[in-house]
Amino acid sequence: MADTRPERGASGPAGSLPTVGVVSLTQGTRPDDLAAGLESVLAQRDVVVDLVVVGNGWKPIGLPPEARGVHLPENLGITAGRNAGAHAVAGEYVFFLDDDARLPSPTFLRDAIALLQRDPGIGLMQPRVVDPDGRANPRRWVPRIRKGSATQSSNVFSVWEGATLLPRPVFDAVGGWGEPYFYAHEGIELAWRVWDQGLRSWYAGNLVAHHPANEPTRHAFFYRLNARNRVWLAKRNLPWVLAPLYVLSWTGVQLLRAGLRNPGTLKPWFRGWWEGIRTSPGGRRSIKWVTVWRMTRSGRPPLI
């Protein structure tokens, strides 16, 4: 079958508009949210959008005529699903939007791209995330140890994955999302690998995406994959001398958190921890020592 995608890097009709490949991943369980998110993407001004909806175990139907569907017969996980979408879109930039997220401003993509153009040292951008119904926004949406104000922008070393923008060459250079993870901590690896390109991952507190304030613990597999993937993250990305230190530090954090809040979560967590210890995720690509130093100098050594 002929490849009908627009040529990557193609400009708009006037040769001046930036082009963005947008990937929305869904299992088809939130049709109203998905429709609102797609509408917010198609309402974007001053950019050329190539929009793909990836059905993870669901055949995309009822899409706007401006969107294309990619059908994955089985649920391959969030990471592989996003990568499948990235392979199907074209553009100078690639943007990932969860199926329950949307863009409240029609200039969001234009403004985000302008940020990257003004500062070419930024290789990955996550906006501020806001619950559209006024519920309290989870602290984890600000991916900093010292949270500060959610409107404050800064370098970060992990990202909330539901709305992320990268220049296409950067996404390709880092190898995309880490497919073995399936779910959880893929945003840490992506941020680390952007730093390893000599670039920075950035939290933009002045740009806003909407997303409901749900708890990740609603997923039955959360604690197991959270622990397994923490170990895999170290195995895939850290120099060997640092990998056990990283795992031990996060084991201590989990013992402290669970001991104070919810001891019953320790059993599934350690089940995943042991799975991570005894299995290999493959795809090892250790970050460089100069990257460790840059991250440390910027306030977050890859140990915590």
What range does the domain containing 264 cover?
218-284
Closest CA to 224 of 256, 270, 264, 187: 270
Is 299 part of a structural domain of the chain?
Answer: no
If you ran DSSP here, which 8-state letter would residue 265 be given?
G
In this structure, the answer to whether residues 255 and 188 fall within a common structural domain is no
Contact present, 76 and 84 (Cβ < 8 Å): yes
187 is written with which tokens? 């945003």
Is 76 part of a structural domain of the chain?
Answer: yes
In this structure, the answer to whether residues 226 and 276 fall within a common structural domain is yes
Is 106 part of a structural domain of the chain?
Answer: yes
The C-alpha atoms of residue 267 and residue 69 are separated, in whole angstroms, by 40
Total residues belonging to the chain? 304
Is 249 part of a structural domain of the chain?
Answer: yes
14 is written with which tokens? 């006037």
In this structure, the answer to whether residues 94 and 225 fall within a common structural domain is no
CATH of the domain at 24: 3.90.550.10
Is 199 part of a structural domain of the chain?
Answer: yes
Q: What pLDDT, on a 0 to 100 scale, did the predictor assign at position 220?
A: 59
In this structure, the answer to whether residues 256 and 168 fall within a common structural domain is no
User: Which positions ≥6 away from 121 have C-beta within 8 Å?
Assistant: 199, 200
Buried b (16+ CB within 10 A) or exposed e, 244-282: eebbeebbeebeeebeeeeeebbebbbebbebbeeeebe
Q: What pLDDT, on a 0 to 100 scale, did the predictor assign at position 265?
A: 87
If you ran DSSP here, which 8-state letter would residue 125 be given?
E
In this structure, the answer to whether residues 128 and 200 fall within a common structural domain is yes
Residue stretches of the chain with pLDDT short of 70: 1-15, 216-220, 259
Is 137 part of a structural domain of the chain?
Answer: yes
In this structure, the answer to whether residues 108 and 256 fall within a common structural domain is no
Q: What pLDDT, on a 0 to 100 scale, did the predictor assign at position 6?
A: 42
Q: What pLDDT, on a 0 to 100 scale, did the predictor assign at position 1?
A: 32
Q: What pLDDT, on a 0 to 100 scale, did the predictor assign at position 277?
A: 97
In this structure, the answer to whether residues 74 and 175 fall within a common structural domain is yes
Closest CA to 58 of 26, 20, 96: 26
114 is written with which tokens? 């302008």
Is 298 part of a structural domain of the chain?
Answer: no
Number of domains in the chain: 2
Angle, CA 178 vertex, CA 177 and CA 183 arms, to 5°: 95
Q: Cα-atom radius of gyration of the chain, to the nearest Å? A: 19
In this structure, the answer to whether residues 254 and 193 fall within a common structural domain is no
Is 2 part of a structural domain of the chain?
Answer: no
Q: What pLDDT, on a 0 to 100 scale, did the predictor assign at position 15?
A: 60
